Structure 1
Amino acid sequence: MTELSWRGGAAAVVTLTFDVDAETPILAAGRQYADHLMVMSHQAYGPEVGVPRILELLAELAVPATFFVPGWVAEQRPGLAATIVEHGHEVAHHSYSHRAPTSLTPAQERADFERALAVFDAQGIEIAGHRAALWEATRTTLELIAEHGLAYDSSLMGDDRPYLLEVEGGPVTELPVHWSLDDWEQYAYLPEPQIGSVIESPRQVLELWRAELDGMRHYRCLFNLCLHPFLSGRPSRLLAVRELIEYAQSCGDVSFARCRDLAALARADRTLRPRKPPSVVADPTVYPD
């Protein structure tokens, strides 16, 4: 029987994803940082230096990727999203302001979500998927994704394979993430605002990610790598990314996909049974605020 799964016959599928946050996470921590030139330049490195370097690497190795871009970043740098698309990659929704949905009211989240969509629409960028700022999705997040006809989300951690969520307004394909495959946990550092406190060796990070890829090849999983251009766009770190991609290519049983293409394959995979989003009732007498 011919395999018609989301993996398409591969042992594991790699989605290379880049969150082009630029200044937004810092501004979300406090607008006063707009006047802190070290911090703003630290973040601007991502779109201005990291992204061109990453696009060059992806072209050289002939692998596709997905770039999650906040609407504010696309608005401030009008040619950025178009350049990514022109290179054959996907641009996806990553909020407008990079404020966590869990910190917003439903009305505020809707306004932020739709403001980003308006930016991409004005730039002629077709959006198929979404990733919540800080991965802090809410029920409103999933409902907005379905309401606006997006195909997938990539914010939750309920599996290490794609899964389908039953959401009011229509199904949403989830492409799950995990902290172990996020470069923020490895490299992020600023004294203020504090976004992390460790600057890890790229050799150790490469070892971690190679081990995870091998495990996912064994268990037939999705290797959904989340990178930030202001972090992994740095020279030694991008060389480690290159080595990781070349290792995956050498395995012979790993494929690469844009998130939108993988989501379409997952939606067509009849072995994936729809699930409901997490629904936990916390008794206030047991778990007080």
Structure 2
Amino acid sequence: MTRPAEPAGHEVPAMRPAEPVAWPHGKSAAASFTFDVDAESAVLFGNPAAAASRLSVMSHQAYGPLTGLPRLLRILAEHRVRATFFVPGYTAHRHPGAVRAIADGGHEIAHHGYLHESLAEVDEAAEAEILDRGLAALAEVAGVRPVGYRAPMWELTYDSPRLLAERGFLYDSSLMDADVPYELDAGGATSIVEIPVHWGLDDWEQYCYLPDISGSGLIEDPAKAVSMWRGEFEALRREGGCFVLTNHPFLSGRPARAAALEGLIEHVAGCTDVWLAPLGDIARHVRGLALKPRAIPKPELRGSPP
């Protein structure tokens, strides 16, 4: 075990909690339904040749854009809810009609890498290339220049805020240190809006099972999953927070799961004290509050094991 470094002639920058956010129109809290349209990209990254040869696995992932997404778009339209869809560039190239249907439905399209690449061991130049490749794909297929970003696997790097700010992104939704959005320091007197997430508000942990790829084989009852998400919503509502649910069309687009999710959407949409909006709208509101940027300093480690 290594020990945190002691400051060498200066103090480590103090970390401070995110400050409360005043929501528009007198609302007490905010909420957003978001969807990561990973499709095949979620399993192709890492070992594409091996994954691509598995027809059953590819069909499991293709269920999202082919079957689950149209169902979810119908549900959102029926309840007049606008959502945010994070789309990898590869998904846009492989399923252009599905991505255009998202835009045609009046929903926000945001950036989610190109091939759902993990950034855990990616250097700055490679991360920049992934961002640019994804931007080009979304512009080519859907004619959009996204203002929002979500790192695949929520694996943001310490270079990411600056790279996003340099490309004109307004917000990111990958970090987990607050219940409300805030301005994230991007260096050089710039910042981006951060809209936090967490693993408890993600359907992957509830539903995903792919042999040798992901999951233990335990697939939860949709009623159980939605009950947990509703509990999180009600708690954040009381706290004045921002509820951000992440679903994947290849998972939550299945009939029973979509039906359970629809019940939650209907409930949240019916709460008159909650502002339900796409993440882009939430980020624009937060940017208008002129909050003081905050940072999460990188831990400095030194020394040998004790």
TM more than 0.5: yes
CA contact (8 A) 2:268 2:276 kept: no
Aligned partner of 1:81: which letter?
V
In 2, the alpha carbon distance for the partners of 1:195 and 1:47 equals: 21
Aligned to 1:17, the other structure's residue is in SS state strand
2:170 corresponding residue in structure 1: 151
CA deviation after TM superposition for structure 1 residue 160, in Å? 1.1
TM-score (norm 1): 0.93
| Counterpart among 110, 131, 138 of residue 120 in structure 1 | 138
Q: Give runs of aligned pairs for residues 256-271 of structure 1, distance below 5 A.
A: 256-270=276-290
2:192 corresponding residue in structure 1: 172
CA deviation after TM superposition for structure 1 residue 198, in Å? 2.3
| Counterpart among 27, 39, 47 of residue 65 in structure 2 | 47
- Of 240-249 and 88-97, the range deviating more from structure 2: 240-249
Structure 1 residue ranges without an equivalent (≥5): none
In 2, the alpha carbon distance for the partners of 1:161 and 1:167 equals: 18
Structure 2 residue ranges without an equivalent (≥5): 1-20
2:16 corresponding residue in structure 1: none
2:29 corresponding residue in structure 1: 12
Aligned to 1:103, the other structure's residue is in SS state coil
Aligned to 1:166, the other structure's residue is in SS state strand
2:42 corresponding residue in structure 1: 25
Aligned residues: 283
CA deviation after TM superposition for structure 1 residue 122, in Å? 2.1
- Of 160-169 and 142-151, the range deviating more from structure 2: 160-169
Aligned to 2:186, the other structure's residue is in SS state coil
In 1, the alpha carbon distance for the partners of 2:201 and 2:232 equals: 8
| Counterpart among 86, 102, 108 of residue 68 in structure 1 | 86
2:225 corresponding residue in structure 1: 205
CA contact (8 A) 1:167 1:277 kept: no
In 1, the alpha carbon distance for the partners of 2:264 and 2:107 equals: 19
CA deviation after TM superposition for structure 1 residue 81, in Å? 2.4
Aligned to 1:223, the other structure's residue is in SS state strand
2:128 corresponding residue in structure 1: 110
In 2, the alpha carbon distance for the partners of 1:221 and 1:286 equals: 40
Aligned to 2:64, the other structure's residue is in SS state helix
- Of 253-262 and 117-126, the range deviating more from structure 2: 117-126
CA deviation after TM superposition for structure 1 residue 119, in Å? 1.1
Matched, 1:96 2:97: no
1:82 corresponding residue in structure 2: 100
How many percent of aligned residue pairs carry the same amino acid? 44
In 1, the alpha carbon distance for the partners of 2:110 and 2:216 equals: 25
Cα RMSD, aligned residues only: 1.6
Aligned to 1:40, the other structure's residue is in SS state helix
CA contact (8 A) 2:28 2:274 kept: yes
Question: Bigger relative contact order, structure 1 or 2, given CA contacts below 8 A and separation 6+?
Answer: 2
CA deviation after TM superposition for structure 1 residue 248, in Å? 1.6
CA deviation after TM superposition for structure 1 residue 195, in Å? 4.1
1:246 corresponding residue in structure 2: 266
Aligned partner of 2:262: which letter?
R
CA contact (8 A) 2:233 2:243 kept: yes
CA deviation after TM superposition for structure 1 residue 282, in Å? 2.4
Aligned to 1:191, the other structure's residue is in SS state coil
Aligned to 1:92, the other structure's residue is in SS state strand
Larger radius of gyration: 2
